[in-house]
A and B are shown apart, each in its own frame.
Chain A
Amino acid sequence: MTDGHEPSSHEATETAAYGRRAFLGRTGKLIAGAALAGSFADVASASGFLKGSEAATGKLDVWYLTGSPQETKYVTHLTSMYGGHHALKTSVTPYDYDPMNRALKLALSSHRGPDVAYANPSPDDEFVYQKNKWIIDLNPLVKKYGWDKRLSPSVMNYWGTLCCGGNTPRTGIPFDLTAVDWFYNPKIFAKYGLKAPTTFPQLESLLATLKSKGVTPIGVGGLHVGNPGSVSYVFQQVVHQTVSRSLLQRLQLRDPTASWDNPGIVQAATIVQNWAKKGYLSQNVLALSGSDADAAFLNGDSAMIINGTWKNQQYLAGTEFSPRFFPTPRIDTSRPWVMGGYSPNNVWMINSHARSQKTAASYLDYMLGEQVATTLWNNSDIPAYRFKKTPKPRSQLQADVYAAMGKTQTGFFLANVGGVFTTQYNPTLDKLWSLSISPQELAKEFQSNYKQTLSG
C-alpha cells in the first residue's frame, strides 16, 4: 500500500537539503534583524514559535518526544523527505519526556507551539490538551485518509476509549507500538546454559543462578529520579503480575474509589525488595544513572536490563552481542500476559492553531503510511501499520519483541498518574530499595500521595 507521498529519493534529498539551508539562513537573518530591532515578538515569529493565524504557510514545525538518538535521526530524515517533496520548510525538535510535557502544555495553552506534536497520551498530557480543545479531533481525517484500515484498530482506539468513553474525539494517533520489559545478553545466558524464562519461578531461578556466577542479574539505575529506564521499572513490571490490569487502569485514570494500598502492591514490593536484599540489582543502584545502567548492559557487566523497546535500535547499535527480549512471566497463570508500560507509548497530535491543518494532516498521513512504517521496521521498531505481509525481522531482538507483543496485553506506566504521586513515586521507591520502609508502608505512602493528587 502506498501513501501517495513518495518523492524520488534524489529529488527529495536535494530539495530537503536546500530547504534546510535556506530555512537556517533565513531564520538566522530574521532572528538577527529582529534582535537588532529589539522586538521579542519578531524573534518568536522568526523562530517559528508563533500563533497559527499570524504565521505564513509553507512551514511545518514538529515537536517529537524521542526515545533515542537513532530515533531522532530517522524521524528528522523522514520529515525532511516530506518537506522536500512538498516544498515545505520543516523542523523537528526532539524532546525528552519531562521537558516535552512541560513545554507543550505551555505552548498549546497560549495557542502557540508546533503544528504537529508526537507526545504522551497520558491523563496529565493528551487528556488535558483534548479537554481544552488545544488539539483537533482526528476522526474526520481517519475517515478521509482511511487510517483505520491502515493501522491496527485496537491500537487506534486504545487511548481515546480510556480518556472519555466510547464517543470521545480521537485526538491522538500512533505510528508504532512499544513495550517495557526484559532485554538480555544471550552470550551470558549461553555461557551458563540459561534460557529466557516463561514462568515466574524460572525467572527467580535465573536471577539466583546469575548472582551465584558473579554476574549482576538486573542492571538498572536509580540516580536522577524520574529518569526513564530507572530501577522503578523493576517494580512496575512485577506489579503488572500481582495487580489486575483493570485496577491499574482505574488508578492510572485517577478513580477515587481505587486504592494503591492493596495486597497486590504489597506482594510486588515484597518480591522486589527481596531481590534487592539478595543483590539481584546493580550494586549501589541508587547512585547509578540510567545511562550507567545502559553502559553496564552494553558492556556485558550485567546480564539483563528492563527498559522500553524504543531502546531497540540503540541497544543493537551499541553492542557486539545482539540483545534479546522476553516479557515478565506471570505469577498467576490464570491471568493473561501483561507487559508494563503502555502502548502506544506516544501519539501524533495536530495543534488546533497549526499554521495549516491541511499540511499537518497531510504530514500525518505520510507518517502513518507504508514508507515510514518500513523505515520504522528497518530500524527494529514495531510499526502500528498493518503490512500486507509482515516483513522479515531485521534482528532477533525485533522478532522477540514482535512475538511478545503478540501474546501480551499492554499495561501502564505506574508513575504517570500525575501530581504529587508522580513526583514522589521514585522517592518512595528509593526507600524500598534502601530497605528503609516495608512493603506495607510503601503501599500506604503510595495511597497517601494518590489522595493528595486527587485533592489537587
Chain B
Amino acid sequence: MAERFSVGTVRRRRRTSRAASGPHRFPGVGSRLGGGVSPYLYLLPAFVIYGAFFLLPLCRIVEYSFLKWDGYSEKKWVGLANYQKLAHDPLFWRAFRHNIAWMVAGITVPTIVGLALAILLVRQPMHGRTYYRAVFFLPQVLASVVVAIVWQWIYSPSSGALDAILRGVGLGQFQEAWLGSTTWALPAIFVAWAWTAYGLSMVIFIAALQSVDEEYFEAAKIDGASRLQQLKHVLLPFVRRPMTVVILVNAIGALQVFDLVFITTNGGPANATLVLSVYVYQNVFQILNVGYGSANAVALALAVVLASVIFLRLRGMAERSA
C-alpha cells in the first residue's frame, strides 16, 4: 500500500536524497568569517548611518521626554512628569486605542486580501497574469499624499465616487459623510491604508507560492484532496513563514500611520481619527510641548517594539512546531 500523502512525507524524501548526494556545498565559509575585524569594517558604514539617523535621534527623544521644553527656550528637567501626565491623558489613550484597532485590522485585512490575490494569481490559469500583478501592486507605489487626496475625493459627500456608486446601485440609504462621521471616519481611512498595504503582502505571498513545487499539489490530487484540503494542508504550511513577515510589517505600519490621517482628517472629527503619531505631531509642533510630545513618541516606539517582539516570538513558536 502506498504511503499516504503529506508535505512531511515529501520533505523527508527530499532530505534523504540530499543526504545521499554528498557533503555541504560550501565548506569553510563559516570559518573564514569567524575571526578578525574585517566583518566589522564591512558593517561600519551601515552602522554609522544607522547610528546617526536612528539611534542618536532616538536617544535624544528619550532625553527630551524627561524635559519641559518648548523647542527653543531653556530646558527644564521634570523627571517622569511627562509620563505621569501621559498615563492620565484621555486623548493619549484614545489615540492609543485607535492605533490598536488599526493594528488588529491592519494585520488581518491586507494579509487576507494579499493571500487571496496571490493564490488567484499563482494557482489559477489566466491570461494577463503579469498585468494583473502590476495593477494590484500599483497602490503600494503611490505616494501617500496622492492616496490621501484620491480617497478624500472618493469619500466626498458632494461629489465622491463612493456615494455616487451607492446611489447608482440603489443603495442610497447607505450613503454616509464618511470622513465627517465620528463612527465611519476611522474605518474609512483604514480602507484607504489597506488599499496601499495589501500589495506588499501579495508580492511576498506570490514569491512564497511560486517556490512550492507542483508535485505537492499533484500528490495531493492523487490522494483525492479537495481544493480546500489542498489549500489547508499543502499551501498554507508553505506560507506560514512569509505570513509572519507580512503580519509584522503590517503591524508596524499600522502603529506608525500618520500621513493618511494627517492629510484627510487631521485627527477629526472630534478626535475620532486621532492616532498616536498625529498626537505626537500636535504636541511637538503645534503646542510646542516638545517634552510631552517626546514622551508620547517614546510610548509609540515601545508599542512598536513590543508588537515586534510578540510577533517574532510567535513566529519562533510556529517554526518550532512545524
Interface positions of A (Cβ within 8 A of B): 98, 102, 105-106, 109, 124, 132, 222-226, 283-289, 292, 296, 418-420, 422-423, 426-428, 430-431, 434, 436, 456
Q: Does B308 contact A (CB under 8 A)?
A: no
Most buried by B among A124, A430, A436: A430
Give the complex CA separation of A100 and B37 in angstroms: 50
Are B158 and A288 neighbours in the complex by a CB distance under 8 Å? yes
Q: List 18 A-B contacts (CB under 8 A).
A: A102-B285, A106-B72, A109-B71, A109-B72, A223-B265, A223-B268, A224-B263, A225-B265, A225-B269, A226-B266, A286-B268, A288-B158, A288-B180, A289-B152, A292-B158, A418-B287, A427-B271, A436-B270
- Contact of A287 with B72 in the complex, beta carbons under 8 Å: no
Query: Chain A CB within 10 Å — which of B156, B157, B282 has the most?
Result: B157
How near does chain B come to A112, taking the closest CB pair, in angstroms? 12
* Complex Cα gap A6–B268 (Å): 49
Which A residues are CB-close (under 8 A) to B73? 132
B230: Cβ under 8 A from any A Cβ: no
The closest CB in chain B to the CB of A292 belongs to B158
Taking a contact as CB atoms under 8 Å apart, the answer to whether A225 and B158 are in contact is no
Q: Which residues in chain B, 255-296, are within 8 Å of chain A measured between CB atoms?
A: 263-271, 282, 285-289
Question: In the complex, which residue of chain A has the Cβ closest to the Cβ of B184?
Answer: A287
Mark out the residues of chain B between 156 and 187 whose CB falls within 8 Å of any chain A CB in the assembled complex.
Answer: 156-158, 177-182
With A102-B285, A109-B72, A456-B289 as given contacts, are A287 and B178 in contact (CB-CB < 8 Å)? Answer: yes
Bound: A105/B155 CA distance, A: 35
* Bound: A132/B72 CA distance, A: 10
Q: Separation in Å of the B166 CB from the closest CB of chain A? A: 14
Q: A102-B286, A106-B71 are in contact. Are A288 and B157 (CB under 8 A)?
A: yes
- Chain B contacts for A98, CB-based, 8 A: 286
Assess whether A284 is in contact with B72, with CB atoms less than 8 Å apart.
no
Does the CB pair B68–A456 fall under 8 Å?
yes
Q: Is the CB of B269 within 8 A of A222?
A: yes
| Known A109-B71, A132-B72, A287-B156: A224·B264 in contact at CB below 8 Å | yes
Q: Which of A286, A420, A427 contacts B287 (CB 8 A)?
A: A420
Partner of A287, one of B157, B270, B285: B157
**Contact of B264 with A287 in the complex, beta carbons under 8 Å:** no
With contacts A423-B286, A430-B182, A456-B289 known, what are 20 further pairs, Cβ within 8 A?
A102-B286, A105-B72, A124-B288, A132-B73, A223-B179, A223-B180, A223-B264, A223-B268, A224-B264, A225-B266, A284-B158, A287-B155, A287-B177, A288-B157, A419-B287, A419-B289, A422-B287, A423-B287, A431-B270, A434-B269
Within the complex, what minimum Cβ distance (angstroms) separates A295 from chain B? 8
Q: Assess whether A296 is in contact with B270, with CB atoms less than 8 Å apart.
A: no
* Nearest CB in chain B to that of A421: its residue: B287
CB–CB A427/B270 < 8 A: yes
Central interface residue in A222, A284, A296, by most chain B CB within 10 Å = A284
- Residues 108-127 of B, flagged 1 when their CB comes within 8 A of A and 0 if not, give 00000000000000000000
Q: Which residues of B contact A420 (CB under 8 A)?
A: 287
- Cβ of B179: which chain A residues have Cβ within 8 Å of it? 223, 286-287
**Distance in Å from the Cβ of A422 to the closest Cβ of chain B?**
7
B282 — which chain A residues lie within 8 A by C-beta?
A: 423
A285 touches B158 (CB 8 A): no
Alpha-carbon distance between A434 and B155 when the two chains are bound, in angstroms: 18
A427 touches B268 (CB 8 A): yes
State the CA gap A226–B152 with chains docked (Å). Answer: 17
Shortest distance in angstroms between A32's beta carbon and chain B's nearest beta carbon?
23
Give A427 to B177 CA distance when docked, in angstroms.
Answer: 17
CA distance A285 to B156 in the complex (A): 11
B54 to chain A, nearest CB (A): 18
Q: Give the 10 A-B residue pairs with the shortest CB-CB distance, closest first.
A: A287-B180, A286-B180, A284-B177, A109-B72, A287-B177, A430-B270, A284-B157, A225-B268, A430-B269, A286-B269
Alpha-carbon distance A436/B285, docked complex (angstroms): 29
Interface pair A427/B288, CB less than 8 Å apart: no
Query: Which chain B residues (203-217) contact chain A, with CB distance < 8 Å?
Result: none
